[in-house]
Structure 1
Amino acid sequence: MQTRNKIFDDLSQLMTNAMGVAQGAKGEAETAMNSLVDRWLADRDFVTREEFDAVRSMAQKAREENEALKARLDALEADKG
């Protein structure tokens, strides 16, 4: 009976160690994949969200200014005519 418990204890310890190794490998694989994706994105020269939002804001302001200038030109042309 004692031998049987020893076998189960050894098997349990082996499985516990295997799970620890698997979890460590999973963590290393995730880190490697994140690093690979970060390098790939950096090589593609993508803009950050902050840069995109800044340029979008500038474009919106320019569009509003163009619309205001167009309205002024239309008003000047109407006065001439």
Structure 2
Amino acid sequence: MSDRPKFFDDLAGVAGGAISAIAGLREEAEATLRARLDDLIGRLDLVRREELQATQDIAANARAGQEAAEAKLGGLESRLAALEARVSALEAPNPDAVAPDLT
């Protein structure tokens, strides 16, 4: 009878060791797979999500800056057109004006 509990204790020890070894193998397999995938990604010239997001943010900021500059340019062009119209109105001869007497 005393041999039976020792057998179960030994069996439990072997099972615990096997589970520990399987966990170690799993970690090793994950590390190997991760290293191979990183190597594959490096060879394919793929970008990471963070790099893509940063590039998209830069592009969005540049697009917003360009739209703001275009809006400002449109305002400046309309102001220039108004000023040019005023200048040409001042330079145009007025037919109703009396010519000065130069004699």
For Structure 1 versus Structure 2, the TM-score category normalised by the shorter chain is: 0.5 to 0.7
> Deviation at 1:77?
7.2
Greater relative contact order (Cα < 8 A, sep 6+)? 2
Measured in 2, the distance between the counterparts of 1:26 and 1:9 equals 26
Measured in 1, the distance between the counterparts of 2:62 and 2:5 equals 73
- TM-score between both structures, scaled by the size of structure 2: 0.57
Superposed structure 1 runs of 4+ greater than 2 Å apart: 32-45, 49-60, 70-73, 76-81
Measured in 1, the distance between the counterparts of 2:13 and 2:41 equals 42
* 1:1-81 matched pairs, under 5 angstroms: 1-42=1-42, 43-46=44-47, 48=51, 49-73=53-77, 75-76=78-79, 79=82
Q: Compare the two structures and name the one with the higher helix fraction.
A: 1
Percent of paired sites with the same residue: 20
RMSD (Å) for aligned C-alpha atoms: 2.7
Measured in 2, the distance between the counterparts of 1:3 and 1:21 equals 27
Rg (Cα) greater in structure: 2
Gaps in structure 1 of 5+ consecutive residues: none
Measured in 1, the distance between the counterparts of 2:17 and 2:46 equals 43
Count of aligned pairs between the two proteins: 80
